[in-house]
Amino acid sequence: KAGVTQTPRYLIKTRGQQVTLSCSPISGHRSVSWYQQTPGQGLQFLFEYFSETQRNKGNFPGRFSGRQFSNSRSEMNVSTLELGDSALYLCASTDTYGYTFGSGTRLTVV
């Protein structure tokens, strides 16, 4: 079966811009979670969606937001980008057996 698909793989944006990242989970998985990975902070939980509802949120500013559609695909948005937002953004889809991660989107803010 197809894995978790994240698009785009790489992205370069300028400070102040906004960005939208996409995640398509494994077919049948209704839970999608998002993570930020930086060299300094490691992996950090952003938020989790289940059946179009945000079920949990990590400790990130309101510039970070997300949503989930009826087909379980999810998007995350970062507004007013800062240099510190440069990171690998990973999403994972979940079933009772565990997590399957996408390959990530590497965002560079210049």
Partner 1 sequence: KNEVEQSPQNLTAQEGEFITINCSYSVGISALHWLQQHPGGGIVSLFMLSSGKKKHGRLIATINIQEKHSSLHITASHPRDSAVYICAVFMNYGGSQGNLIFGKGTKLSVKP
Instruction: Enumerate binding residues for partner 1 (CB under 8 A).
Output: 33, 35, 37, 42-45, 48, 55-56, 58, 88, 90, 92, 97-101, 103-104, 106
Question: Would you say 44 and 35 are in contact if contact means Cβ atoms under 8 Å apart?
Answer: yes
Q: Which is nearer to partner 1, 56 or 80 (CB)?
A: 56
CB of 57 to partner 1, least distance (A): 8
Say how many CA atoms lie within 13 Å of 98 toward its Cβ.
2
CB of residue 30 to partner 1, shortest distance in Å: 13
| Rounded Cα gap, residues 53 and 49, in angstroms | 5
